[in-house]
Structure formats: structure tokens, C-alpha cells
Structure 1
């Protein structure tokens, strides 16, 4: 990855309307059996083509083969009963009916490795794959077996590490762990959250990312953000801990959020995947707006460590909007890259 300011997307892209209901989270599949397998691969191919065409450097699958960023992984594990459901509070924000942990959790076989191999065949560019982080996984379940958030998190961390090692062997260059729960459970983050995350990433040669967002796509998340005041300082709790962790890249929301940009100083030395595209709005950023967000960040992160990206996933957006936002991200990064090379050549 030798390009200055290589661009990336955090996670999802909208799925084609023939595969799943557009602009909907958890959208049910419209195909079944072999047609679904083929349809997912076709959608993944389109996602790769759109990213490449629009100048994205680090290519991902756009999460075309999964319904949800957490549960699709959990569905493949044993020890979790999806028929037995309980209502729990998710991220202290809203109630949801979730599956129950009824026994020891384990992974009988790889979950995403075949999809990752397929992604690897589509491009020679660096590829990134996202997995749910241990703390966010336990937050979407009712635990009847371990009766300890920490114990269950460690079990998940071990399982995630098995999956991550196989993804690396399949040719994945960057492995991302999604941990929105890091913006909520500050004591847990400090006590065992970072350690569990490091366990999930243990022994990997691939670069590792932790993505911490504020959530989007549902009313409960929007309402919660309204209570956070004019400055969102949640990152202040996790960033100093992550700065000392073994994780290589920290991914955060920036554009149109209320995150004070100087908080990035707290992760000085790490690579920063900076959200320069708002995923909660259909308005397409101008290249200048993107460039402006990146320039502000460059006061607190060295240019060779900045990865311009989206704030979060884009599944609920109209497809045309999401793809145009990718073009804006590229164009904005191009502006700043040109400015930097002009400055270097002086």
C-alpha cells in the first residue's frame, strides 16, 4: 500500500434490488438456494467493479454476502440458539429480540473464507475484510451459558482469531474488527475490551483495523446522537488505550459528526482511517468538502498514515448516491494528495 492517502470504505455498500430489499438494514434475500449463492457473487463482483472504477484503493466486498455485520457471523457458530430469543438492550440504546447463548460457543468451519477467496480473485489491489469485534458480538446476544460478558468475549475473540488467520491465508491484506460498543461501555473497554480485541488479532501479519462508529440507519441511533451534545468526546476514553494496543489502524467517524478533530492526536503513531463521507445523509459531498475534512485531520496525523474513508457502512443509502459518494471521496483525496506532493517537491 504505497499510495499516499489510499482510499477505502468502512463496510457495506447497498445491495442490488434483485438481491435484497433496497435501502433497508437486515433486508431479507430475494433469492434462494444456488441462485442466492450466484446472486451474492454477482453483487460482490459489482461492488468491486464500482470501487475500482471510482478510484478506491483498498477494495472490500461491500458486505454483499451478509445480511448483518454481526449476526451473519454468529449464525455460523454452534452454542447459539436463534429460535430461543430474549429481549435485551443493545448498546444501552434500544431493545431488540436476540438469539440466546445456550452452550459453549465454537466455530465448526470458516464463515467468510470462501467469499474472501472470491473477492481476492476479482482484484490485485489490497483487499480488506470486516468482522464483528468481540464486545459488539456479546452485545447482540442473551447469554444463558457463561453468565459473564467478559468470558463470552474471550471465547468470541478466540473464534475471531481462527477466522482472521484463515482470511489472511486466503489473501486478505487488512482485517477490520467493528466495535461500535467501544463508544458505550467505557469500563469494559478498559478492563477487558482492548485485550479481547488484541486476542482476536493475535499473530496476524495482515494489518488490523478497529472501526468505532456511532451507529446509523435506525431511529434509536439517531435519537441517541441527539443526546450527545455539541461535542462527541467518546473517543477520548478508548483512543489512549488503542494508541498503546497492537492494532495497526483506528477507523473513526469525522465528517458531519460532532467529534472534535483534535482527538486524533490521542492515537498519534497509529494509522487513521478517517471518515470523510457522511453515511446518514443522501447529500453527496463535494470534493472540496472531503478535502477540507482531510486537511483538518492532517494537523494530527502524518500524511503517510492517513486513509480517507467513509464514516460507516452505506447499506441504507440509494445505490446511485453511495457510488457518487465514493467518487467524491476519491476526488477529495486527489486534491489533498496533489497539495502534499507539491509541498514535498518544493
Structure 2
């Protein structure tokens, strides 16, 4: 009798102790030769496969491992390398691969943007002028490695052609079918070679199918998969969707593939409704994504088992695969090291390895009965009950404030035009004022001091003196460079969200909860497990000290409520809207504390506002309404002369420009240098009448931009934006950059600004 299979859709790359990150950075710095580097990555990759095998996973993904990013991998596989990198064909070298991701001395990096509505960033393929060719069959190489070295019959994972093209740039929307005609034969070749190798299952990731898919795009998808089936008719293709309910369910379920993967965590209600009302093809298997691949909480195994039983009424067990909802790339590796957390919290955590166990337990329960895994079910129920009973979830005053949210201040006392007059008189800033986004380089010395302080090797007072020395040095340096509005540098902060979570009630911090954000950049999101509440001022001491060192204004630097929400692992017993309001009300207290201490320029960053957008446009309005309200709850109860700034990261702004305006921030800075032209085009179509700074250079690349590059960017922006409202700033914070390149880049930025000022004054 055929049984339920278990599957993972992908495994974290970074390693339990971030071995992957350390290897990349050692190679980039020249401390590790290429051959040794590649050997280290192979060891990490094989270890990950072995872990999944030991967990009892039947269908183990291969080719999900990456040297940087899986979309960049796909681009490299098809020779999608922009001309500026000097590529001449054949397999893409490691040097060229990383140049595309990070830039080099002669070529700027490719654009980077968010992977759907997650905090992972991918490198955007540039298709313009490219004649694609299969440079090497990466899924086949990964399959052979797993089989030959570990005896694993792997399931190659490939980014599907529709998703790959939809996430690429360099062609008009009307040209999609024409571009697809270039790439589908290459995909067909990949699949044909996998079929010839004897591969059993291939996971074709098509998360773009959960977005708004037009009728024309649907017809294209049908054509694509008909061609792929014809190329490799004996290969079992699992068309995998995730992050939401699939669009055009009936048509997608009818595609000539052998399996369809659906997310039963995000978009679960709609996917389940479609499954039950429309049915499921009898010639296909269903990949049931019932274990959440994006959050860190233990699943309620009884509830998940009941869901699977409901699904089994439509799709019997012999055609069912129990899996994670998406790749486990978005969660940390192992919760085994989290020994310092409160017991009720530690017991409720499930990282990637624990989620693999949950998948295997559910599959066993379906195949052998719950009695076979009773201990696991009992342990699970006890852990969830302990978390629910935590006193941190019962702060009555917090719940009362959220219940009366309409009574909280959420509008500035004066409109922007009136505030602008008051602020101009108050601040006396020059034309085209210059500033930075907040952070300055976190040098090895800074990181070492923080580690010593956390270990107790450096006393509290010694550490405070050290931080003040860093602030003093960079205030002086900013004045020498010629910046108009200064920042204290954030040397006391490890991460822009973690820092605030450590000082607010309701948060917890893990020891090993690292996840990949982009490249080797890993973040350790806070865990919001209780009610969020303000305790005491969090940023006042450092900001006031910085202001005491200069006559120029120093901005207070806060992270906004939606970014804290979106960049944290959020409790699942409340709605995200309710948690956002809790955070917003707590931050409002910090804004008041800064203003009362004399800090009247306050930046409340919301780089993650757009990434929280639902993937279906029909759901946008509801999210944007409470997201904007949350920001305004944090920032509205201030004087007219207090200037509220905010910052946003890479994203497409034109479709949420009204919501950005509704934030009512006095100044917004936007991270745009890798896609500057696209954003300028947005402002050619939409009027923006508040203060704005478009990032004039890319801080994610180590290259120092030339003055001429920045003057060109500034001039183009001034063609469509009001010069009196325009600010000059880098793309983002400078935490990850080196000191020398930071200083050189900022000097060039000031020189570019002065040139434009002189030209416009003539």
C-alpha cells in the first residue's frame, strides 16, 4: 500500500553556526583561496543533505543550496550576465558571479529587491541584450553529487520559467511571451537531461502563480508547461507554489505536471476552499504545505493532523506529500542551542531542523497512526499550552489601549505646508540639505567591544565610554566632511530591530536565530512572544550626547512599527494588525522622550513597509490602512517644528505612493540607486509634495561612486521633484561598509551636492 511521503522545499544555506557566511566573507577578503572556499561550501552542502536524510524526509531537495542567491544561480545557469561584467560565454566564473551580486571596481552590482513579501533579497536578472544559453545544468550536478556522495535520491529544485521571467527586468510586459520563447527551450533541455539521468521528481518553484496572474499570463503558463511536458514526458514534475493561495486554481491544477504544491499556512483558507469545491485531479499528487516555513513556532500537530485529514477527503494518502509551506530558508537552522530563553518560550520554538521533525511526525501519524508518535504529540501539546499561559501575554493595559486605538493621536496638528514654514525657520538648512540614513561602519573594534560587554569582560561604564568615543569621532568626521544634518552612528546597536526589541517588553532574543537577508548578510530577528510595552527611554542618552558635540542638528533614530513587525518572528495568537498597534504605541512614548530631551529631528525608519503587502492586490487596502495608521500613531503627537523623517528600502513605490504620502512624514529617504531610473519615472507620473531624498549611491557595493554619477542622479531627480523639498543622502545605512570607502563616498556626495548647488544658483 502506497503511503504519504514527506518532503522539504528547501533548507537554510547559512549553517548552524553561520559557517556559510564566514566562508563567503573569508573568500571575499582574500583570506581563503577559491579551491578551499569551494571545498568548504561542498562540506556545508553535504552536511545539510545528511541532516535531512537523518530527519526521515523522503523527498530531499537538491540545488536549493546557493553561493549567494538562487535567482542569481538561475541567471548564471542561462548565461544572463550583463555586458558590463565582460562575460564571454560558458560557465560563469565565481569571480563574475560575485561581481554581479556585489559590483566591482569597474561595474555596478545588479539590482537587489525583496523576494515576494519576505525579508530575503534576490538579485534581479537583467535580460536586455542577452541571448541566453545553458551554461551548465546545475540541478543535474547537484543531483549527481547527492546520489554519489550520500546515496540520496534527491529532488532537484528549479526556479520555474514564469517566476524567473516575472522577477527579471529588461523587457516590456508585452514582450513576456517573446522572451519566454528564448528560455523555455533551455528549461526543456535541463529537464530532458534530468530525465535521462533517471531523476524521479523535480520541484519547479512557481511562487509567482500566487500573485495576480492575467489571462494572457495564464495562457503563457499553459503553453510553457505543455512544452516542458513534451520535452520530458516521463519526468515527475512537482509544480510548487507558496506564500499565498494559487491564482487560477482550476487551470493550474490541470497543467500537464505530476504534482501540485500548495501552501496551507499562508493562503490556507482559500487553497482549502478551492481544493474542496473544485476538487483535485486524480492523476496528480498534492504537496500539502502544512508546516509553516516562515515562522518559528511549533505547529499544533493535532490541528495540522486534522487539516490533513480534511485534505485527505479530497486527495487520498497515496497521492499526498506532507511538506513545509515554503523553503526553510526563512527560518533559523536549529533551536537546540536556545538554552537561555524562558522555558515556556524555548519549548515552543521550531527552527528548520525541528520543522523537518514535525513533517516526519505528521507523515508517520498518517501512515501508522498517532499512537506511533504519541510522545511527540504529547510533548507538542504541552509546549503550546505553556506558552499560552505565559504572564507576558496578559498585560491588560496594552490590550485596552489597542482596543481603543481610534482614540489615540494619529494626526499632526498642522498640515505639511504649514509645518514646512515653521521647520524652515527653525532649522535654517541650506538648499539641498545633506544627511545620512543613520548607521556608520561597525568596525571589528566596535563588534569586539560589544561582544566583550555582552560576555561581561567589559564593564557597563567602560562600554558606555567606548560608545561615546565612537560617537565623538564620527560627529567630528561628519562635520569635516560637510554634512548638514548629522547622526550619532548607532554604534551601540547590533541590528535596527533587535536593539529596540531588547528594550521593549514582550520581546525575546535568541542565541542562534540567524536567517539570511541577502548574500552573507544574516539577521537575528527578535521574537515577539508577549504583549509589547514601553519600559524606559531607549535612544535618548546617545542622541543627546551626540547633539551636545555639535551645533548642527542630530537626528534621533528609531525603527518604525511595521518594520519591527515585519522583521521579527511574530506571535501567532494575535493578528499582525493588533501587534503592530502595540509596537506603535510603545514607540510613540520614545518619540515623546526624544522631543522632551531637545531632539526635534526624529527619523522613524520603515524600510519594510512595502514588503508586508499581501501578494494579491485585492488585499492591499486593508494592510496599508493599518500600516499607515501604525506609523502615524508613533509620530503624530509632536510639535509642528519637530521634523519627522522616515526611510524605505528597495521596492516598487509607484503603486503605493498614496500610502507613502499618507504617512505624513516631513522627509522620506528612499533606497533607489540600483533602480534610480525606475523610481524617477514614478515621480514623473505622480506628484509628491513632501520632503524627499532619493539615495544617490549604492551602499551594498564596496565601490566608491564617482562625483559625476551622483550629480547625474541628483539632476534627473530635480527634473521631477521640487528642489526646495529635496534632500541628498546615501541609499541606506552604512553599517556594513568599511571606514575608508564610507568617508570617500560621502566626500564625493558632498562634492556632487556642491556642484549642483552652484549650477542651480547661476
Matched, 1:252 2:670: yes
1:20-77 alpha-carbon deviations (Å, 9 max, x no partner): 26xxxxx953452222111111111111111111011000012122111111011011
Following superposition, the deviation at residue 270 of structure 1 comes to 0.7
SS in 1 for 2:629: helix
Following superposition, the deviation at residue 189 of structure 1 comes to 4.8
Gaps of 5+ in 1: 22-26, 215-231
Comparing 305-314 and 252-261, the one that deviates more: 252-261
1:54-108 alpha-carbon deviations (Å, 9 max, x no partner): 01100001212211111101101112222598799989xx997644333221111
2:709 to 260, 284, 289: 289
Structure-1 separation of matches of 2:705 and 2:592: 37
Give the match for residue 646 of structure 2: 210
Give the match for residue 405 of structure 2: none
Give the match for residue 134 of structure 1: 561
Structure-2 separation of matches of 1:235 and 1:104: 32
Could you tell me whether the CA contact under 8 Å between 1:40 and 1:65 is conserved in 2? Answer: yes
CA spacing shift, 1:146–1:165, aligned 2, 3 Å:
farther
Gaps of 5+ in 2: 1-427, 614-619
Question: Relative to total residues, which structure has the larger strand share, 1 or 2?
Answer: 1
Matched, 1:112 2:112: no
Could you tell me whether the CA contact under 8 Å between 2:563 and 2:605 is conserved in 1? Answer: yes
Structure-1 separation of matches of 2:546 and 2:732: 20
Comparing 200-209 and 37-46, the one that deviates more: 200-209
Give the match for residue 12 of structure 1: 439
Aligned-residue RMSD, C-alpha: 2.5
1:319 to 728, 739, 759: 739
CA spacing shift, 1:319–1:84, aligned 2, 3 Å:
closer
Structure-2 separation of matches of 1:124 and 1:134: 30
1:176 to 585, 603, 623: 603
1:277 to 671, 685, 697: 697
Could you tell me whether the CA contact under 8 Å between 2:645 and 2:668 is conserved in 1? Answer: yes
Matched, 1:102 2:525: no
Give the match for residue 262 of structure 1: 681
Structure-1 separation of matches of 2:515 and 2:446: 30
Structure-1 separation of matches of 2:489 and 2:524: 26
Query: What is the TM-score normalised by the length of structure 1?
Result: 0.84
Structure-2 separation of matches of 1:14 and 1:189: 34
Structure-2 separation of matches of 1:2 and 1:88: 41
Runs of 4+ residues deviating >6 angstroms: 84-91
Give the match for residue 727 of structure 2: 307
Give the match for residue 429 of structure 2: 2
Give the match for residue 161 of structure 1: 588
1:128-177 alpha-carbon deviations (Å, 9 max, x no partner): 12211111111233333752111111111111111011112222232112
SS in 1 for 2:699: coil
Could you tell me whether the CA contact under 8 Å between 2:510 and 2:524 is conserved in 1? Answer: no
SS in 2 for 1:180: coil
Matched, 1:240 2:658: yes
Could you tell me whether the CA contact under 8 Å between 2:486 and 2:554 is conserved in 1? Answer: yes
Comparing 53-62 and 123-132, the one that deviates more: 123-132
Following superposition, the deviation at residue 253 of structure 1 comes to 1.7
Structure-2 separation of matches of 1:192 and 1:74: 21
Give the match for residue 495 of structure 2: 68
Larger radius of gyration: 2
Comparing 127-136 and 242-251, the one that deviates more: 242-251
Matched, 1:197 2:631: yes
Could you tell me whether the CA contact under 8 Å between 1:90 and 1:140 is conserved in 2? Answer: no
Could you tell me whether the CA contact under 8 Å between 2:470 and 2:491 is conserved in 1? Answer: yes
Structure-2 separation of matches of 1:322 and 1:178: 21
SS in 1 for 2:716: helix
Structure-2 separation of matches of 1:9 and 1:320: 16
Query: What is the TM-score normalised by the length of structure 2?
Result: 0.39
1:125 to 543, 547, 552: 552
Following superposition, the deviation at residue 331 of structure 1 comes to 0.4
CA spacing shift, 1:169–1:146, aligned 2, 3 Å:
farther
Structure-2 separation of matches of 1:95 and 1:328: 29
Matched, 1:329 2:756: no
Could you tell me whether the CA contact under 8 Å between 2:498 and 2:524 is conserved in 1? Answer: no
Structure-2 separation of matches of 1:19 and 1:97: 18
Could you tell me whether the CA contact under 8 Å between 1:105 and 1:155 is conserved in 2? Answer: yes
